[in-house]
Structure 1
Amino acid sequence: MGYKQLSIDGTVQFHHRSSSNYQIAAEDIQMDFSKAQDDYGQVILIHELQCPLKIGHFHLVITTDKERIISVECGNHALGDGLYYDLELFVIRYGKHKFIYQLPDA
């Protein structure tokens, strides 16, 4: 069985304490991937989503195996003092399965 196709759609909303809110579209985000091995020797795919911003740099790291998305984490290059983003309108699909964000309680 082969690996599934990761796709993104929608927008990421950005908020900064000293400037107005803005958003970027999924098609403006560069996506690269590489293969690695987990602690058990299984091959996993590391997808890096990156985009320069007005203030800072957007960077997500999405880890997958052949079946599912394992994690979605803020990447090491994510920069921007006072910058945070909302992924509520950003859709990640791995194969036919949509990734549902577990949003923290407000």
Structure 2
Amino acid sequence: MTTVLCLFWVLELDCYDAGLQCMLTDEKQRLYLTDIACLPVGHVQRELAPIVRNILDAGGNKYAETCGEPEPSTYPWPEQQDIRGGGVLPFTYFFSTCTLSH
């Protein structure tokens, strides 16, 4: 079985207005947009990843917007104190696909 992983990345810094480029994104860790630009910030769940991969392979696009505050990881994810544990950031996914004309 092949594992498919689809990541969400923060856009390049020049994609944001100049006023947002110094925005604080994580108060606890003191991270600014300049610190996380071009880095992965999340991934599509394992069950949805093959579907999303098919959309991307067909020329489609995806993006996500957060729709809530981060929550501790829960079953079946590892607990926060585990090495692979952490938080879960709820996303709303948006997809665009190409339309083929015949």
Q: Same fold (TM over 0.5)?
A: no
TM-score (ref. length: structure 2)? 0.27
After TM superposition, the score normalised by the length of structure 1 is 0.26
Higher radius of gyration, 1 or 2? 2
Higher relative contact order (CA 8 A, sep 6+): 1
More strand by share: 1
